[in-house]
Structure 1
Amino acid sequence: MKIEGAVVLVTGANRGLGLQFAQQSLARGAKKVYAAARNPSSVTLAGVTPVKLDVTHAADVTAAAEHCGDVTLLINNAGIARVASVTQAEGAAALREQLETNVFGMLAMSRAFAGILGGHGGGAMLNILSVLSWVNTPAIGGYGVSKAAAWTLTNALRHELRAQGTQVVGFHAGYIDTDLTRGFDIAKATPEDVVHQALDAVEAGDEEVMVDELTRRVKQGLSHSLYLKDVMGG
Structure 2
Amino acid sequence: MLEHGAAKIYAGVRDPATAADQDVTPLRLDVTKPEEIAEAAAVAGDVTIVINNAGIASTGTGLLEGAFDGARRAMEVNYFGTWAVSRAFAPILARNGGGALVNMLSLASWVGQPLFPGYAAAKAAQWSLTDALRQGLREQGTLVIGVHAGFVDTDLGAWTDAPKISAADVAEQTLKALANDQVEVHADEKTRRVKAALSQPLNPQPRA
Q: Same fold by TM (over 0.5)? A: yes
Q: TM-score, normalised by structure 1?
A: 0.84
Asked if 1:198 corresponds to 2:174, the answer is yes
Question: Equivalent of 2:129, from 153, 175, 193?
Answer: 153
Of the candidates 90, 93, 99, which is equivalent to residue 114 of structure 1? 90
Q: What is the DSSP-based 3-state SS (H/G/I as helix, E as strand, rest coil) of the residue aligned with 1:162?
A: coil
Structure 1: tracts of 5 or more residues without a match: 1-24, 229-234
Offset at residue 82 of structure 1 (A): 2.2
Q: Within 2, Cα distance between the matches of 1:95 and 1:171?
A: 22
Which residue of 2 is the match for residue 85 of structure 1?
62
User: In the alignment, what sits opposite 2:196?
Assistant: 220
Which residue is equivalent to 1:98?
A: 74
Match of 2:6 among 4, 27, 30: 30
The structure where helix makes up a greater share of residues is 1
Give 1:54 deviation, angstroms.
0.3
Give distance in 1, aligned partners of 2:116 and 2:136: 31
How far, CA to CA, are the matches of 1:67 and 1:49 in structure 2?
Answer: 10
Distance 2:136 2:63 in 1: 31
Q: C-alpha distance in 1, partners of 2:56/2:148?
A: 15
Check conservation: 1:86, 1:95, Cα contact below 8 A.
Answer: no
User: How far apart, in 2, do the equivalents of 1:212 and 1:102 lie?
Assistant: 21
Q: 1-side partners of 2:51 and 2:4: how far apart?
A: 15
Between the aligned partners of 1:119 and 1:175, the Cα distance in structure 2 is: 36
Q: Which amino acid aligns with 1:70?
A: D
Alignment length, in residue pairs?
202
Equivalent-residue separation in structure 1 for 2:176 and 2:63 (angstroms): 36
Structure 1 segment 27-66 matched on structure 2, within 5 A: 27-66=3-42
Unaligned runs of 5+ in 2: 204-208
1:178 to 154, 161, 174: 154
Q: CA deviation at 1:215?
A: 0.3
1:67 aligns with 2:43: yes
Distance (whole Å) between structure 2 residues aligned to residue 100 and residue 86 of structure 1: 19
Q: Give the alignment's TM-score, normalised by structure 2.
A: 0.94
Residue by residue over 1:26-80, the C-alpha shift from the partner in whole angstroms, topping out at 9 and shown as x without a partner, is: 2212010001101111111121101000000000000011111011000000011
Task: Give the secondary structure class of the aligned counterpart of 2:57.
Answer: coil
Question: Using the alignment, how far apart are the partners of 1:49 and 1:223 within structure 2?
Answer: 43
- Output the amino acid matched with 2:33: H
Distance, in Å, in 2 between the alignment partners of 1:157 and 1:87 is: 33
Whole-angstrom CA distance in 1 between matches of 2:63 and 2:32: 22
Over aligned residue pairs, what C-alpha RMSD do you find? 1.3
Question: What is the CA-CA distance between 1:191 and the residue it aligns to?
Answer: 1.0
Name the SS of the counterpart of 2:39 in structure 1. Answer: helix
What's the offset of the Cα at 1:117? 0.2
How many percent identity over aligned positions?
Answer: 48
